[in-house]
């Protein structure tokens, strides 16, 4: 009797092990997906529709163990790559701003130090403007001298030499160039003042955030 019970138990155990081995060999995994109409489908093998719509890996207990998104079209892949590039660029720009702000605070620990730096920058522009003004006055005087010489000859009923006329034309171009340079420098100074105001506001915001007590 005991031998019979033992034999039956061994047979059941062998059958269970065989079934478990079969389940393990197939992984007990099925593919589940929904078609374009939302209807569910199951398959023991991966089909083109599953790849098209995306699918779930479902175990023998019906539990989803992994979800795989559908394949993207070339256009969708391009759009996703573009979005990823934009996000990466934004993250890089944000990191660069953080690094630049940290360097700014390290270089100028106080607002007065930052303002002094801005004034030095404006001072350099002012020096360039003053130099251009001096040069402009000198070139204007040279032009006035040439025009006076030509005027004296004309009043004396004498012809104005070609060399003098050429010199006057050349000097006028020099004066015009100096005036254009002075205008550009003055515009650059105005733009620098506006930027300094914006930069100072940014400095104050960064400094306030840095000095704000944590917690």
Q: Kindly tell me if the per-residue pLDDT of 12 is higher than 80.
A: no
**Prediction pTM value:** 0.59
Kindly report the backbone phi and psi dihedral angles of residue 83, in degrees, each rounded to the nearest multiple of 5, phi listed first: -65, -40
**CA pair distance 185, 50, nearest whole angstrom:** 67
Q: Kindly tell me if the per-residue pLDDT of 16 is higher than 50.
A: no
What pLDDT, on the 0 to 100 scale, is given for residue 175? 97
Question: What average pLDDT does range 164-185 have in this prediction?
Answer: 97
What pLDDT, on the 0 to 100 scale, is given for residue 52? 84
Q: Where are the alpha helices (H) located in 37-110, listed in sequence order? A: 48-53, 74-107
Q: What does the pLDDT look like over 63-74, one tens digit per residue?
A: 999 999 888 888
Q: Kindly tell me if the per-residue pLDDT of 3 is higher than 70.
A: no
Lowest mean pLDDT across 10-24, 85-99, 137-151:
10-24
Lowest mean pLDDT across 18-27, 86-95, 148-157:
18-27
Is the model more confident about 80 or about 145? 145
Question: What average pLDDT does range 75-98 have in this prediction?
Answer: 93
Spatial strand order of the sheet with 55-58 comes to 40-43, 30-34, 55-58, 64-68
Give the CA-trace dihedral at 193, 196, 201, 203, to 10 degrees.
-170
Would you call 46 helix, strand, or coil by DSSP? coil
For the chain, give the longest Cα–Cα distance: 153
């Amino acid at each position: 009797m005991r031998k019979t019970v033992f034999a039956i138990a061994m047979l059941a155990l062998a059958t269970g092990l065989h079934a478990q081995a079969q389940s393990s060999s197939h992984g007990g995994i099925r593919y589940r997906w929904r078609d374009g109409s939302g209807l569910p489908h199951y398959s023991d093998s991966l089909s083109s529709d599953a790849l098209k719509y995306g699918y779930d890996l479902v175990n023998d207990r019906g539990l989803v163990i992994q979800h795989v998104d559908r394949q993207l079209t070339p256009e969708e892949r391009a759009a996703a790559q573009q979005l990823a590039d934009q996000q990466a660029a934004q993250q890089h720009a944000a990191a660069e701003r953080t690094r630049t702000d940290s360097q700014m605070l390290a270089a100028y620990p106080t607002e007065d130090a930052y303002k002094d730096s801005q004034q030095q920058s404006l001072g350099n522009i002012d020096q360039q403007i003053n130099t251009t003004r001096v040069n402009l006055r000198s070139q204007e005087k040279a032009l006035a001298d040439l025009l006076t010489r030509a005027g004296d000859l004309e009043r004396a009923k004498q012809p104005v030499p070609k060399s003098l006329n050429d010199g006057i034309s050349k000097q006028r171009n020099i004066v015009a160039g100096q005036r254009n340079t002075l205008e550009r420098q003055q515009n650059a100074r105005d733009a620098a003042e506006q930027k300094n105001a914006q930069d100072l506001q940014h400095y104050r915001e960064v400094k306030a955030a840095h000095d704000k007590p944590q917690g």
